[in-house]
Structure 1
Amino acid sequence: MSGRDEYYNKAKQQGYRSRSAYKLQQIDDTADLIAPSDTVIDLGAAPGGWLQVAAERADGGRVVGVDRQRIESIDGVETVRGDLTEESTQAEIAERVGKADLVLSDMAPNMTGEYELDHARSIHLARQALDVARTILTPGGDLVVKAFDGRDLDDLEADIEDEFEYVRTVRPDASRDESSELFLVGKGRMTAPVAVDDELTVEITDTGDEDDGIAKVDDYTLFVSDAEEGETVEVRIEGVKPRFGFAERID
């Protein structure tokens, strides 16, 4: 039995709307993305296979699907009908959802059969999803985007890596053998007001468990080695995480 038949038949038997439901299951099993009570946004969600999986795994959370096509009702799932390439749709997502823990995109272009064109269009759609993620992901949130392998993939991966703690490539078994599709997973959205090698002056307002000094920059926590509460020190940023960073004093 071919891989296509296996997952197609399995989806029919288990009540999933598309075989791609198993792609999300396998991506989630690999990258640990969906947790109970999460808010999950699925871009290009029709017919709803990924929404079904997200609703199962984000038990008690909020799942929102976005697509130009109408999505038949799914228990516990909200839908937004609109074109993601239009600013009005992106604005509606931001207004209705507020902040999300995970942004998913299984969007693919209408295939022309011209590989370079189809690849470029897939990268464009992935970048649309990245733009949405920049707007609505919480600090530490995650992103999954589909793309076709090709010359522009490295640039897309680098841009995602700039926004997240790290990025990895996942090729789920449920993808068809002949497909060039892959999924880039950005883990740990970083919204820090500082960057590595920045130099600034901070006030040490507390002491951490490891006896490092603690400073705040726009409510972002910095751990400063060899600094004590009450000091004002000059520091250089050595590491940045989604919710906190590390600095060395240079004064």
Structure 2
Amino acid sequence: MTGRKDHYYNKSKQEGYRSRAAYKLKQLDREVDLLPSGATVVDLGAAPGGWLQVAAEEVGPQGRVVGVDLQRIDYLDDVKTPVELVRGDMTEEDTRDDIKKAAGPGGVDVVVSDMAPNMSGEYSLDHARSVHLARMALETAEEILKSGGHFAVKVFDGQDFEDFVDDVEQEFNYTRVMSPDASRDSSSELYVVGKSKIRAPIREGDVVDVEIEGVGDEGDGIAKVEGYTLFVPDTEEGDIVEVEVDDVKPNFGFAEKTE
């Protein structure tokens, strides 16, 4: 057992956390403000509940926390934050429906996952299984996160890691790869964090025809694509133009005329 493992293992026992992994989430939150006060958080693969404890602390009584796992999770005592537990497989539609009901009508602000596969001892296989779990978590987040929401997931480093990071970058405004101090020295685990979920009907590089419906404060033309706002420089109200999308944010984007 390494000294660092000793430290966080003992610290979790002393401070009442169910796992040393609680400190990984604490460090992620401290670095990137992952768990805003009042947020609704879904923890995928939440057993035994260390991340649930941290999430409940950080979002506070005005927030809400939903823990999801196939295993039974003991209910959290001594927390003022509302906590719901969903027992099921996150990849199944019924479970996702249960998550949405537990989260409430306001939607989900944050999805986190510290899941790891059952270890085979063969690194390439364990890596592939880890990426598969991470992709399942990302798919779940894509379905239940509201615009501007955040995501964090554990993945083992390896040949498919960069492709997975690229996929996260397509869905969020800001992406960062992190290795919390609480991770063991020998571990290959990394955490991919995506902030500000993009809920847009278009992606960077798309070419579309739009009508300029007005002009914004900065002088850019304003167009709508399925209700989503695009700012287009050098256009005037009434123009019908072909544009290429060059920047997509959760609530608005930017495009340039193609001609």
Q: Under TM normalisation by the shorter chain, which class is it?
A: over 0.9
**Number of residues paired by the alignment?**
251
Q: TM-score by structure 2 length?
A: 0.90
Deviation at 1:132, TM superposition (A): 0.2
Question: Which structure 2 residue ranges, 5 or more long, are not aligned?
Answer: none
Deviation at 1:137, TM superposition (A): 1.0
Q: Tell whether the 8 Å contact from 1:18 to 1:47 is kept in structure 2 after alignment.
A: yes
Task: Tell me if 1:69 matches 2:75.
Answer: no
Given candidates 150, 160, 169, the residue that maps to 1:152 is: 160
AA at the equivalent of 1:138: K
Deviation at 1:175, TM superposition (A): 0.6
AA at the equivalent of 1:47: P
SS at match of 1:123: helix
Task: Tell me if 1:169 matches 2:170.
Answer: no
Name 2:48's counterpart in structure 1: 47
More off after superposition, 129-138 vs 222-231: 222-231
Name 2:150's counterpart in structure 1: 142
Identity %: 59
AA at the equivalent of 1:159: D
Runs of 4+ in 1 over 4 A off after TM superposition: none
AA at the equivalent of 1:53: V
Task: Tell me if 1:196 matches 2:204.
Answer: yes
Name 1:78's counterpart in structure 2: 84
Name the CA distance, whole Å, in 1 between partners of 2:100 and 2:8. 34
Deviation at 1:92, TM superposition (A): 2.5
Name the CA distance, whole Å, in 1 between partners of 2:156 and 2:203. 31
Name the CA distance, whole Å, in 1 between partners of 2:119 and 2:208. 50
Given candidates 222, 230, 240, the residue that maps to 2:248 is: 240
Name the CA distance, whole Å, in 1 between partners of 2:156 and 2:258. 46
**Aligned pair in 2 of structure 1 residues 199, 85: CA closer, same or farther (>3 Å)?**
closer
AA at the equivalent of 2:177: T
Q: Tell whether the 8 Å contact from 1:16 to 1:49 is kept in structure 2 after alignment.
A: yes
Q: TM-score by structure 1 length?
A: 0.93
Name the CA distance, whole Å, in 2 between partners of 1:181 and 1:198. 35
Name the CA distance, whole Å, in 2 between partners of 1:149 and 1:28. 21
**Aligned pair in 2 of structure 1 residues 224, 48: CA closer, same or farther (>3 Å)?**
same
Q: Tell whether the 8 Å contact from 2:113 to 2:137 is kept in structure 1 after alignment.
A: yes
Q: Tell whether the 8 Å contact from 2:84 to 2:102 is kept in structure 1 after alignment.
A: no
